[in-house]
Amino acid sequence: MWCLLLPSLSSFKKKRILLLSHSRADIDAIASSAALFFALKKNNSVSIGIPDCISLSAKSLAKSLGIKCQINPSTENFDILILLDFNSKNMLGSMRGQIEKFSGKIFLVDHHAGSNEKIALAANTVIDDSYVAASEMIFEWLKKSRFKIGKKTAAALACGIIEDSAHFMVADKKTFSMMAELIEKSGKNIHQIFLLYKNPLDTGKKIAMLKAAERAQIFKAGNIVLAISKVGAFEAESAMAMIRNGADIAFVGNSEKGILKISGRASHFALQTAKIDLAKNVFQKLGVFFSGSGGGHAGAAAFTGKSETIQEPLQKCIDLTMDFLKIKNPGLQLKKF
């Protein structure tokens, strides 16, 4: 098991530890950090750090769990860094320089496909994309370290698994086995778990999703329906709304002051029939054209880069998707509606 490759968490004593997620931390990143925070804080000085910014839903989860997250903390006062839910230096944002100069021990735990970048020593790095969430990996690390998993820890990890499995769209039997145990340990039902980070839709989010639908450009490739659209904010929520409205693959983005942000979502149908991986097949390649980085999962991924306009990057997402689809079907044609 992967966690046997790393030291038991019980061996961390009287250390100054920084738990660091990726820039624009999401639910899984905060859930993983929170679980380790609760486990390690008794015998260590522990802080949670985030490069640049945190997503609104992750911020809600942190508030519900009663934990504080530092944006762009200094690494000078820490002995150990534990990097969670990423393995690319680009995901460090403005903290990249600090991490590259850090002289203490660095551990890295991630469930995304490897980037081949060396951030921590190989002996301290575990990357396993067979897990749907980093929270699953932290759950196993805690159990192998013989840590008691309390109610808040269990609830946090359940949140991370729910979100990164796209509400179990890409879950396997291991995921459901873990969820059953975590729900029992949390003392909550699934609805109460959702409420830890799911805020009622505010007016701005509702408007963004409606505008995404209004502005949508629709394409068809074989039996796959694709859609692109632009919004001022809430790209991820708008992309997911387009999937619920009938698209199989959706890309929604915005470009403000030259900063490009695009979120992509794929339906269960697209994942099963086309076998597309939005992170690998689209967003990791998009950086060649619009300086930046992308990542995520097969059915839910995102990209941050540079572009003065949004139409060209969105069209490139369609082009890259078609490049992948044509591997198995060279004669496939794209039709715009």
- Residue spans per domain, the chain: 2-194, 206-336
Average pLDDT, whole number, for the chain?
A: 92
Question: pLDDT tens across 31-43, in order?
Answer: 999 999 999 999 9
What would the mean pLDDT of 7-33 be, rounded to a whole number?
94
Report in angstroms the alpha-carbon separations of 16 from 41, 48, 61, 214: 10, 11, 24, 51
Class of domain 206-336: alpha beta
Per-residue model confidence as pLDDT tens digits over 150-166 = 999 999 999 999 988 87
Q: Tell me the pLDDT band of 277, cut-offs 50, 70 and 90.
A: very high
Q: What is the pLDDT of residue 1?
A: 65
Q: At residue 168, does pLDDT exceed 70?
A: yes
Q: Is the pTM of this model over 0.85?
A: no
pLDDT tens digit sequence for 79-129: 999 999 999 888 898 999 999 999 999 999 999 877 778 899 999 999 998
Q: How confident is the model at residue 184 (pLDDT cuts 50, 70, 90)?
A: very high
Least confident stretch, 70-74, 104-108, 166-170, 199-203: 199-203
- pLDDT > 90? residue 12: yes
Q: Supply the pLDDT for residue 225.
A: 98
pLDDT band, very low/low/confident/very high, at 295 (cuts 50, 70, 90): confident
For 2-194, CATH gives 3.90.1640.10
Asked whether the predicted pLDDT for residue 28 surpasses 80, the reply is yes
List, for residues 130-139, the tens digit of each pLDDT value.
899 999 999 9
For position 176, what pLDDT does the model report? Answer: 96
Average of per-residue pLDDT across 189-213:
87
Residue 336 scores a pLDDT above 70: yes
